[in-house]
Structure 1
Amino acid sequence: MPENGPWEYSLHIPNDARAVTVCRRTLRLILTVHGLINLVDVAELLAAELVSNAVRHTRGPAALWVRWSENGVLRIGAWDADPSPPEPPLPLDRGVDAEDGRGLDLVRACADGWGWHSLGRGNERGKYIWCELRGGERVA
Protein backbone atom coordinates (compact mmCIF):
# COMPACT_ATOMS: atom_id res chain seq x y z
CA MET A 1 0.00 0.00 0.00
CA PRO A 2 1.47 3.39 -0.91
CA GLU A 3 2.15 5.93 1.80
CA ASN A 4 -0.39 8.68 2.35
CA GLY A 5 2.09 11.55 2.57
CA PRO A 6 3.55 13.67 -0.21
CA TRP A 7 5.72 12.16 -2.92
CA GLU A 8 7.59 13.27 -6.03
CA TYR A 9 8.97 11.57 -9.14
CA SER A 10 11.11 12.84 -12.00
CA LEU A 11 11.79 11.27 -15.36
CA HIS A 12 14.61 12.68 -17.49
CA ILE A 13 14.01 12.13 -21.19
CA PRO A 14 15.88 12.65 -24.45
CA ASN A 15 14.63 14.91 -27.20
CA ASP A 16 12.69 12.14 -28.91
CA ALA A 17 9.01 12.08 -29.84
CA ARG A 18 8.73 8.57 -28.35
CA ALA A 19 9.42 10.10 -24.94
CA VAL A 20 5.84 11.40 -24.83
CA THR A 21 4.48 7.84 -24.79
CA VAL A 22 7.04 6.79 -22.18
CA CYS A 23 5.98 9.70 -19.96
CA ARG A 24 2.27 8.95 -20.34
CA ARG A 25 2.71 5.30 -19.44
CA THR A 26 5.03 6.08 -16.54
CA LEU A 27 2.58 8.64 -15.17
CA ARG A 28 -0.29 6.13 -15.45
CA LEU A 29 1.74 3.61 -13.45
CA ILE A 30 2.71 6.18 -10.78
CA LEU A 31 -0.87 7.34 -10.27
CA THR A 32 -2.24 3.79 -10.26
CA VAL A 33 0.29 2.63 -7.65
CA HIS A 34 -0.59 5.62 -5.47
CA GLY A 35 -4.33 4.97 -5.75
CA LEU A 36 -5.08 8.08 -7.84
CA ILE A 37 -6.75 6.24 -10.70
CA ASN A 38 -9.47 8.90 -11.00
CA LEU A 39 -6.82 11.43 -12.13
CA VAL A 40 -5.11 9.22 -14.71
CA ASP A 41 -6.94 10.26 -17.89
CA VAL A 42 -6.71 14.02 -17.40
CA ALA A 43 -3.19 13.81 -15.97
CA GLU A 44 -2.01 11.80 -18.99
CA LEU A 45 -3.46 14.38 -21.38
CA LEU A 46 -1.81 17.26 -19.50
CA ALA A 47 1.56 15.52 -19.21
CA ALA A 48 1.49 14.61 -22.91
CA GLU A 49 0.87 18.23 -23.87
CA LEU A 50 3.63 19.58 -21.64
CA VAL A 51 6.20 16.95 -22.65
CA SER A 52 5.37 17.10 -26.35
CA ASN A 53 5.89 20.88 -26.28
CA ALA A 54 9.25 20.38 -24.57
CA VAL A 55 10.34 17.79 -27.15
CA ARG A 56 8.84 19.48 -30.20
CA HIS A 57 9.95 23.06 -29.60
CA THR A 58 13.43 22.50 -28.16
CA ARG A 59 16.54 20.60 -29.14
CA GLY A 60 17.91 19.46 -25.80
CA PRO A 61 16.87 17.05 -23.09
CA ALA A 62 13.72 17.44 -21.04
CA ALA A 63 12.15 16.07 -17.87
CA LEU A 64 8.75 15.25 -16.44
CA TRP A 65 8.11 15.97 -12.75
CA VAL A 66 5.11 14.68 -10.85
CA ARG A 67 4.38 15.67 -7.26
CA TRP A 68 1.53 14.87 -4.88
CA SER A 69 1.12 17.23 -1.93
CA GLU A 70 -0.46 16.63 1.45
CA ASN A 71 -3.31 18.98 0.56
CA GLY A 72 -4.47 16.77 -2.32
CA VAL A 73 -2.91 18.58 -5.27
CA LEU A 74 -1.19 16.77 -8.13
CA ARG A 75 1.40 18.95 -9.87
CA ILE A 76 2.68 17.87 -13.27
CA GLY A 77 5.59 19.78 -14.74
CA ALA A 78 7.89 19.64 -17.72
CA TRP A 79 11.38 21.10 -17.85
CA ASP A 80 13.26 21.89 -21.04
CA ALA A 81 16.59 23.57 -21.73
CA ASP A 82 15.14 26.38 -23.85
CA PRO A 83 14.80 29.58 -21.79
CA SER A 84 12.22 31.12 -24.15
CA PRO A 85 8.76 31.59 -22.67
CA PRO A 86 6.05 29.29 -23.98
CA GLU A 87 3.75 30.64 -26.67
CA PRO A 88 0.59 32.01 -25.08
CA PRO A 89 -2.40 29.67 -25.24
CA LEU A 90 -4.70 30.12 -28.22
CA PRO A 91 -8.48 29.74 -27.99
CA LEU A 92 -9.76 26.21 -28.49
CA ASP A 93 -12.50 27.53 -30.76
CA ARG A 94 -10.09 28.82 -33.42
CA GLY A 95 -11.01 25.93 -35.69
CA VAL A 96 -11.00 22.17 -35.65
CA ASP A 97 -8.62 22.12 -38.61
CA ALA A 98 -5.78 23.77 -36.67
CA GLU A 99 -2.80 21.41 -36.57
CA ASP A 100 -1.00 22.98 -33.63
CA GLY A 101 -1.08 25.78 -31.08
CA ARG A 102 -3.79 24.28 -28.90
CA GLY A 103 -1.68 22.39 -26.35
CA LEU A 104 -1.38 25.04 -23.66
CA ASP A 105 -5.01 26.01 -24.11
CA LEU A 106 -5.96 22.37 -23.42
CA VAL A 107 -3.80 22.58 -20.31
CA ARG A 108 -5.50 25.81 -19.28
CA ALA A 109 -8.96 24.31 -19.88
CA CYS A 110 -8.37 20.97 -18.10
CA ALA A 111 -6.12 21.94 -15.18
CA ASP A 112 -7.08 23.74 -12.01
CA GLY A 113 -4.07 26.00 -12.47
CA TRP A 114 -0.97 26.31 -14.61
CA GLY A 115 2.04 28.52 -15.13
CA TRP A 116 5.70 28.64 -15.99
CA HIS A 117 8.94 30.13 -14.78
CA SER A 118 12.53 30.33 -15.92
CA LEU A 119 15.22 28.47 -14.02
CA GLY A 120 18.54 29.93 -13.07
CA ARG A 121 19.95 33.38 -13.40
CA GLY A 122 19.40 34.95 -16.80
CA ASN A 123 17.36 31.99 -18.09
CA GLU A 124 20.55 29.93 -18.41
CA ARG A 125 18.96 26.70 -17.22
CA GLY A 126 15.76 26.55 -19.25
CA LYS A 127 12.16 26.75 -18.10
CA TYR A 128 9.61 24.79 -16.13
CA ILE A 129 5.94 24.66 -17.18
CA TRP A 130 3.50 23.18 -14.70
CA CYS A 131 -0.16 22.47 -14.11
CA GLU A 132 -2.17 21.24 -11.15
CA LEU A 133 -5.15 18.99 -10.53
CA ARG A 134 -6.98 19.22 -7.21
CA GLY A 135 -9.32 16.92 -5.38
CA GLY A 136 -7.94 13.56 -6.27
CA GLU A 137 -9.10 10.92 -3.84
CA ARG A 138 -7.04 7.84 -3.25
CA VAL A 139 -8.58 4.50 -4.17
CA ALA A 140 -7.30 1.65 -2.02
Structure 2
Amino acid sequence: MNGPVVHEPASPASWRVALPHTAAAVPVARALVRRALAEQEHAADRDTAELLTAELVANAVEHTAGRAPIELVVELLPTSCRVEVHDQDPEPPGDLVRPAVEQPDPWQEHGRGLLLIRALSSSCGHRPTASGKAVWFALPVVSVRQGLS
Protein backbone atom coordinates (compact mmCIF):
# COMPACT_ATOMS: atom_id res chain seq x y z
CA MET A 1 0.00 0.00 0.00
CA ASN A 2 1.45 3.33 -1.05
CA GLY A 3 1.11 6.40 1.14
CA PRO A 4 0.21 9.88 -0.05
CA VAL A 5 2.65 11.48 -2.43
CA VAL A 6 3.04 15.23 -2.35
CA HIS A 7 4.06 16.81 -5.63
CA GLU A 8 6.92 19.19 -4.99
CA PRO A 9 6.54 22.19 -7.32
CA ALA A 10 9.35 23.34 -9.51
CA SER A 11 11.55 26.18 -8.35
CA PRO A 12 10.00 29.65 -8.18
CA ALA A 13 9.13 31.18 -11.55
CA SER A 14 7.39 34.39 -12.58
CA TRP A 15 5.90 36.08 -15.63
CA ARG A 16 4.99 39.73 -16.18
CA VAL A 17 2.90 40.54 -19.26
CA ALA A 18 1.25 43.75 -20.49
CA LEU A 19 -2.29 43.16 -21.71
CA PRO A 20 -4.59 45.43 -23.72
CA HIS A 21 -7.20 47.38 -21.77
CA THR A 22 -9.95 45.46 -23.59
CA ALA A 23 -12.06 42.35 -23.03
CA ALA A 24 -9.59 40.48 -25.28
CA ALA A 25 -7.19 40.49 -22.31
CA VAL A 26 -9.33 38.00 -20.36
CA PRO A 27 -8.78 34.86 -22.50
CA VAL A 28 -5.11 35.77 -23.00
CA ALA A 29 -4.62 36.01 -19.23
CA ARG A 30 -6.41 32.70 -18.64
CA ALA A 31 -4.25 31.00 -21.26
CA LEU A 32 -1.04 32.39 -19.75
CA VAL A 33 -1.92 31.13 -16.26
CA ARG A 34 -2.96 27.71 -17.61
CA ARG A 35 0.26 27.41 -19.62
CA ALA A 36 2.49 28.59 -16.75
CA LEU A 37 1.01 26.10 -14.30
CA ALA A 38 1.23 23.24 -16.81
CA GLU A 39 4.78 23.98 -17.98
CA GLN A 40 6.10 24.30 -14.45
CA GLU A 41 4.09 21.26 -13.30
CA HIS A 42 2.86 23.43 -10.47
CA ALA A 43 0.32 21.86 -8.12
CA ALA A 44 -2.05 24.82 -7.61
CA ASP A 45 -5.60 24.21 -8.83
CA ARG A 46 -5.50 25.25 -12.51
CA ASP A 47 -9.23 25.71 -12.99
CA THR A 48 -9.50 27.98 -9.96
CA ALA A 49 -6.40 29.93 -10.98
CA GLU A 50 -7.85 30.53 -14.45
CA LEU A 51 -11.27 31.56 -13.10
CA LEU A 52 -9.89 34.01 -10.55
CA THR A 53 -7.40 35.45 -13.04
CA ALA A 54 -10.27 36.06 -15.47
CA GLU A 55 -12.20 37.86 -12.72
CA LEU A 56 -9.27 40.12 -11.81
CA VAL A 57 -8.54 41.02 -15.43
CA ALA A 58 -12.22 41.60 -16.28
CA ASN A 59 -12.56 43.88 -13.24
CA ALA A 60 -9.49 45.88 -14.25
CA VAL A 61 -10.81 46.30 -17.79
CA GLU A 62 -14.35 47.17 -16.73
CA HIS A 63 -13.74 49.35 -13.69
CA THR A 64 -10.71 51.43 -14.66
CA ALA A 65 -10.73 54.36 -17.04
CA GLY A 66 -8.31 54.97 -19.85
CA ARG A 67 -6.67 52.88 -22.48
CA ALA A 68 -3.36 52.19 -20.75
CA PRO A 69 -2.43 48.51 -20.71
CA ILE A 70 -3.00 46.44 -17.62
CA GLU A 71 -0.29 44.14 -16.37
CA LEU A 72 -0.58 40.50 -15.34
CA VAL A 73 2.00 39.10 -12.93
CA VAL A 74 2.09 35.36 -12.21
CA GLU A 75 4.40 33.98 -9.53
CA LEU A 76 4.71 30.25 -8.95
CA LEU A 77 6.24 29.71 -5.53
CA PRO A 78 7.02 26.43 -3.76
CA THR A 79 3.89 26.68 -1.59
CA SER A 80 1.52 28.79 -3.70
CA CYS A 81 0.54 30.45 -6.94
CA ARG A 82 0.14 34.23 -6.72
CA VAL A 83 -1.52 36.29 -9.45
CA GLU A 84 -1.57 40.10 -9.56
CA VAL A 85 -3.27 42.47 -11.96
CA HIS A 86 -1.90 46.00 -12.12
CA ASP A 87 -3.91 48.94 -13.42
CA GLN A 88 -3.55 52.72 -13.34
CA ASP A 89 -6.52 53.46 -11.08
CA PRO A 90 -5.37 54.06 -7.48
CA GLU A 91 -8.89 53.42 -6.10
CA PRO A 92 -9.04 50.12 -4.17
CA PRO A 93 -11.50 47.49 -5.38
CA GLY A 94 -14.76 47.52 -3.42
CA ASP A 95 -15.39 44.70 -0.97
CA LEU A 96 -12.35 42.58 -1.88
CA VAL A 97 -11.06 41.90 1.61
CA ARG A 98 -14.28 42.44 3.54
CA PRO A 99 -17.66 40.94 2.75
CA ALA A 100 -20.20 43.11 1.00
CA VAL A 101 -23.07 44.42 3.10
CA GLU A 102 -25.55 42.98 0.60
CA GLN A 103 -25.34 39.70 -1.30
CA PRO A 104 -25.13 40.00 -5.10
CA ASP A 105 -28.46 39.87 -6.91
CA PRO A 106 -28.70 36.36 -8.44
CA TRP A 107 -30.48 37.80 -11.50
CA GLN A 108 -27.68 40.24 -12.36
CA GLU A 109 -24.68 39.40 -14.55
CA HIS A 110 -22.26 41.41 -12.42
CA GLY A 111 -21.34 41.56 -8.75
CA ARG A 112 -19.88 38.12 -8.05
CA GLY A 113 -16.24 38.47 -9.12
CA LEU A 114 -14.81 39.75 -5.85
CA LEU A 115 -17.02 37.30 -3.93
CA LEU A 116 -15.49 34.43 -5.95
CA ILE A 117 -11.98 35.70 -5.33
CA ARG A 118 -12.59 35.96 -1.56
CA ALA A 119 -14.26 32.55 -1.40
CA LEU A 120 -11.90 30.49 -3.57
CA SER A 121 -8.46 31.94 -2.86
CA SER A 122 -6.34 31.23 0.20
CA SER A 123 -5.71 34.98 0.47
CA CYS A 124 -6.34 38.11 -1.57
CA GLY A 125 -5.85 41.83 -1.38
CA HIS A 126 -4.66 44.98 -3.07
CA ARG A 127 -1.77 47.36 -2.69
CA PRO A 128 -0.86 50.74 -4.13
CA THR A 129 1.78 50.89 -6.84
CA ALA A 130 3.75 53.80 -8.29
CA SER A 131 1.26 54.02 -11.18
CA GLY A 132 -2.02 52.86 -9.58
CA LYS A 133 -2.75 49.60 -7.79
CA ALA A 134 -2.21 45.85 -7.87
CA VAL A 135 -5.04 43.46 -6.98
CA TRP A 136 -3.95 39.91 -6.14
CA PHE A 137 -4.94 36.46 -4.98
CA ALA A 138 -3.00 33.38 -3.89
CA LEU A 139 -3.83 29.68 -4.19
CA PRO A 140 -2.05 27.00 -2.17
CA VAL A 141 -0.22 24.04 -3.64
CA VAL A 142 -2.56 21.03 -3.59
CA SER A 143 -1.31 17.65 -2.44
CA VAL A 144 -1.58 14.98 -5.10
CA ARG A 145 -2.30 11.42 -3.98
CA GLN A 146 -1.23 8.52 -6.14
CA GLY A 147 -3.20 5.30 -6.44
CA LEU A 148 -3.36 2.83 -3.58
CA SER A 149 -2.45 -0.81 -4.18
Quick one: which of 14, 21, 27 aligns to 1:8?
Answer: 14
1:93 shift after superposition: 4.5
Q: Residue in 2 aligned with 1:105?
A: 115
1:82 equivalent in alignment to 2:89: yes
Asked whether the equivalents of residues 76 and 130 of structure 1 are also in contact (C-alpha less than 8 Å), the reply is yes
- Number of equivalent positions: 131
Supply the distance in 1 between the matched residues of 2:102 and 2:17 (Cα, whole angstroms): 29
- Residue 43 of structure 1 aligns to a residue in which SS? helix
Supply the distance in 2 between the matched residues of 1:119 and 1:65 (Cα, whole angstroms): 13
Larger RCO: 1 or 2 (CA < 8 Å, sep 6+): 2
Q: What CA deviation, in whole Å up to 9, does each residue of 1:56-103 have, x standing for no partner?
A: 111221011110123x11101100011111111437953311221211
* Aligned-residue CA RMSD (Å): 2.0
Q: What CA deviation, in whole Å up to 9, does each residue of 1:88-136 have, x standing for no partner?
A: 143795331122121111100000000001112xxxx110000000123
* TM-score, with structure 1 as normaliser: 0.84
1:66 equivalent in alignment to 2:74: yes
Task: Among all aligned residue pairs of Structure 1 and Structure 2, give the percentage whose two residues are the same amino acid.
Answer: 34
1:114 equivalent in alignment to 2:120: no
Name the CA shift for 1:39/1:91 in 2 (closer, same or farther; >3 Å).
farther
What letter is aligned with 1:80? D
Asked whether the equivalents of residues 75 and 83 of structure 2 are also in contact (C-alpha less than 8 Å), the reply is yes
Structure 2 unaligned runs (5+)?
A: 1-8, 145-149
From the two aligned structures, give the one with the greater helix fraction: 1
Larger radius of gyration: 2
1:34 shift after superposition: 1.0
